[in-house]
């Protein structure tokens, strides 16, 4: 029986080591992905880039097409260096897309403070939930179906609001999105910790999108409730 226990212990140790490696590499790549995001946002702000300047519906569909094209390519090449390169290219593109809401925020007298508040809130949410998932090592995979349904509802509501342009609906979508993508942070990091995700490129993509959406939604909320006009 002793050799069997030793083999089981070795297998458990190897699995734990792999999970820790995936988590470490994910955090490193996640930190790196913020660099092209910031560069893209700065370039977009300087050039006053606006992807949605034309038809909002066509722009939304075009954005979704480009984004899903990037994500498809990343998933297809996630086991190679090309996957990392595509991920960094995607984060630059998302930085460009972020520049529009940053331009709106900077139009307020306290725009810099609003952006900092949203960034600080996003960081607090991420580190808190990452800590919960890592320390407890609880399996939150049961949240998957509920989160996916919530994601579909939020996307449909956002698409509908392109036509209706209802401020209250926009704020409701942002509030729900903060809760939804915060839960996704917990879910995605839990998948790494419990061994459900073994590729750090895929893991980074998922967590990056969670953080990005939390930040955008928080910024929408703080602009609505704390924005000061000149």
The pLDDT tens digits of the residues spanning 22-77 come to 999 999 999 999 999 999 999 999 988 876 666 777 888 888 899 999 999 999 99
Token pair for 48: 């006053």
148: containing domain:
2-33+100-226
> Does 82 map to a domain?
no
For residues 18 and 193, what is the distance between their CA atoms, to the nearest angstrom? 10
> Does 41 map to a domain?
no
- With 0-12 / 13-18 / 19 or more C-beta atoms within 10 angstroms meaning exposed / middle / buried, residue 143 is middle
Dihedral (C-alpha) 147, 154, 97, 118: value to the nearest 10 degrees? Answer: -70
Q: What is the pLDDT of residues 162-196, one digit of tens each?
A: 888 888 999 999 999 999 999 999 999 999 998 88
pTM (predicted TM-score): 0.90
> Does 65 map to a domain?
no
> Does 70 map to a domain?
no
State the total domains in the chain: 1
> Does 111 map to a domain?
yes
CB 187 within 8 Å of CB 210:
no
> Does 16 map to a domain?
yes
């Amino acid at each position: 029986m002793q050799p069997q226990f030793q083999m089981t212990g070795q297998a458990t140790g190897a699995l734990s080591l792999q999970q820790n490696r995936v988590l470490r590499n994910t955090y490193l790549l996640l930190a790196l992905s913020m660099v092209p995001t910031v560069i893209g946002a700065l370039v977009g702000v300087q050039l006053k880039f606006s992807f949605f300047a034309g038809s909002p519906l066509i722009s939304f569909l075009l954005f979704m097409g480009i984004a899903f094209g990037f994500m498809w390519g990343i998933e297809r090449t996630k086991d190679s260096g090309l996957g990392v390169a595509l991920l960094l290219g995607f984060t630059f593109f998302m930085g460009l897309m972020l520049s529009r809401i940053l331009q709106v925020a900077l139009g307020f007298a306290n725009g810099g403070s609003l952006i900092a508040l949203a960034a600080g809130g996003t960081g607090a949410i991420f580190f808190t939930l990452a800590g919960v998932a890592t320390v407890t090592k609880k399996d939150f995979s049961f949240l998957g179906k509920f989160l996916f349904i919530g994601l579909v509802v939020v996307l449909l509501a956002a698409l509908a609001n392109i036509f209706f342009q209802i401020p209250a609906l926009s704020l409701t979508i942002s509030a729900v999105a903060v809760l939804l993508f915060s839960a996704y942070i917990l879910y995605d990091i839990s998948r790494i910790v419990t061994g459900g995700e073994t590729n750090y490129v895929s893991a980074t993509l998922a967590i990056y999108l969670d953080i990005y959406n939390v930040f955008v939604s928080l910024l929408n909320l703080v602009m609505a409730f704390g924005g000061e006009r000149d």
